[in-house]
Chain A
Amino acid sequence: MRKQLNKKVAVFKSRMNRKRALIADTFCLTKRRRCAADSVTGESQADIRSSLQYLVTLFSRKLFNDSLPPVVLKHQLYSLHNDKTSVDKQVNELRETGELLMFQLGFDSEAFALVFAEDFRAKVLQGEAGRGTLGTVEKFLAKLIPSCSDLSFNKEKMLKEFLFTDSEITQLVKSGVLTVRDAGSWWLSIPNSGKFIKYFIKGRKAVLGMVKKSKYGEILQTELEGRRTTSQVKFQMKYHIHDIIGAELVECIQTTSGTLLRYVDGNVN
């Protein structure tokens, strides 16, 4: 009872403090300008890269017998950084330089997966070693990685721009690098990612269920991280927590006892 009351007081206090900080900011316009604006952008790109590397460590490689490159979801970055627009911008910059690849996973039109390009190439070639389709896949990767940042390809592009034949396209689909999107167009995909998506959706549902079933539908983040995971949750708890915060399936409230996660009603999941 007292714990709940303390939580509510903490939430109220934090809201009032935030309002005062905002009002003080408006009249400090000159001070804000003096803070060097150019150093901020340079730092933030390195920031995103380090966040991505941190999230990569949370990915469990052993689960897939090392056949899958570490996959991070774009909205997990939103849980680590405040400004969503700048996160989007920097992810696009990394994609333009060819360092990062983005994939449309298919279970949600807004969920995009990010994989480092070298990891992707290494794992795909490792998976293809010894198969007849190796040559075609190598050719495709060579075309894709430095220059192209598309998520899907249509037949015209494959035939004219990339100069692939129909049989080569079939080989690419067989190897898992392309999945069918529509008659005559294909999504870029990660080979063997079906298992990943299955475990991911199950785990997300289980973790959300844990938050929902707690008293008042809310739980402290540290408490959730400490909970024993059921057999449904195959990934690390932190990986799922970043996911549900970033996708705004739970509301994040700062309290004096830490971050509180409250289940948001009206979720489709």
Chain B
Amino acid sequence: MLSFLYARQSGLDDPVRLRRAESTRRVLSLELNHNRDVDRIHGNGINTLDIEVIDGRYMLSGGSDGVIVIYDLENNSKKPQYTCKAICTVGRSSRHVHKFSVETVQWYPHDTGMFVSSSFDKTMKVWDTETLKPAEEFQFDGNVYCHHMSPVARKHSLVAVGTKDPKVQLCDLKSGSRIHILQGHRGEILSVRWSPRYDHILATASTDSRVHIWDVRRASGSLFTLDQHNGDKSKTSSEAVNTAHNGRVNGLCFTADGLHLLTTGTDDRMRLWNSATGENTLVNYGKVVNESRKGLKFTVSRGCSPEFVFVPCGSSVAVYGLHSGELITMLRGHYNNVDCCEFHPDYQELYSGGKDCNILAWVPVLRQPDIEDEETNSKRVKHCLYLYRSAGLD
């Protein structure tokens, strides 16, 4: 550690290197901390979590009971023991609450004045955070499994929505209308994700085992489909040609730089793809247990080297190295299935929510003082006390 600091000071190393090494060390030491807690408001399982990107201070959660809660993650009390309080709730008593389970929530990417939630009651609502009333409501024909707004878009404010219908719908927040339909899938759309690198690239995953990458500016169909065998038609039976997984594809996540895409499927596999060419990088993560009938929400770390993937696996969260494919550790602590997890990039913390109605905060373990440091400290303290007492006596 000292060598890193010296190298940074003398200009031998890029300042980012120390930051990256420390972030990686913190992620590797994630643990449940008895000092950190999140308020327990939900009465039923938690389906989705989202931390806002501007400050990283507020977290949204959506539950199976249709309730949406906003938490304040910042520790303003001077004590180490801290419970993240729920600031406001859209509870069952509210007139505008969703009738059935909320599947996805997302903060508006540019400020916390607005958030969007979609639910199994076939609606997607755009909420005003101040008044907690929906400013806009979109109705759909089938259950809405997921929606996503582009985190980098400045020119458009499109929300991509995946429903039971095989057509992906794009809704415009500025005009309030449904302006675009993307056709190509043959099954329910379980996950949609915009690229964090380009504001016109969208990835969609469906129960027909296919993942399509779209350019929304084009009038014709998708750019390409992800093929797990990279075009080698001989490896698989003829029905499974050109599929991303051998089962339903229910999770999508871009890496922070947008160059790679991760997909998970019910064939218990996770695959890493090159997002520009659609090539399967063939990183073998082994068996990633996946029994989710809806979308699976997983996340990738940011600012570390090597990057880590946090995937909910049954009742624990599995941490894999992104490019090596090795299982680093399993974070155990939930009592029931974990449905979602979210990474806080500034503090390298992980929040996970599941069917046991708990949101657990995984916090990096603080650096333990060395034994030598403790001894010298106590010696120094004793010496100071002696000097003080001798001065007092004079």
Contact = CB atoms under 8 A, between A and B. Distances in A.
A26 B17 CA distance: 11
A185 interface: yes
Contacts of B233: 152, 154
A84 B29 contact: no
A152 B283 contact: no
A78 interface: yes
A84 B24 contact: no
Q: Main SS of chain B's interface residues?
A: loop
B234 interface: yes
A51 B113 CA distance: 60
A85 B234 contact: no
A85 B29 CA distance: 25
Given A29-B21, A85-B284, A109-B246, A181 B325 contact: no
Interface string B280-306: 001111110101000000000000000
A42 interface: no
Contacts of A166: none
Nearest to A249: B287
Contacts of A78: 286
Given A26-B28, A109-B240, A248-B286, A83 B326 contact: yes
Interface in A80-108: 82-85, 87-89, 104
Interface residues of A, number: 29
A160 to B, nearest CB: 15
Contact of A83 (B235, B282, B289, B325): B325
Contacts of B289: 266
B236 interface: yes
B302 to A, nearest CB: 16
Nearest to B285: A84
Contact of A181 (B4, B28, B29, B238): B238
Interface residues of B, number: 30
Nearest to A246: B286
B328 A22 contact: yes
Nearest to B325: A85
Given A26-B28, A109-B237, A85 B282 contact: yes
Interface in A28-45: 29
A181 B21 contact: no
B233 to A, nearest CB: 8
B324 interface: yes
A78 B287 CA distance: 12
B329 interface: yes
A122 B289 CA distance: 41
Given A152-B233, A182-B237, 5 more contacts: A22-B28, A26-B21, A27-B25, A89-B282, A181-B237
Interface of A: 15, 18-19, 22-23, 26-27, 29, 78, 82-85, 87-89, 104, 109-110, 150-154, 181-182, 185, 248, 266
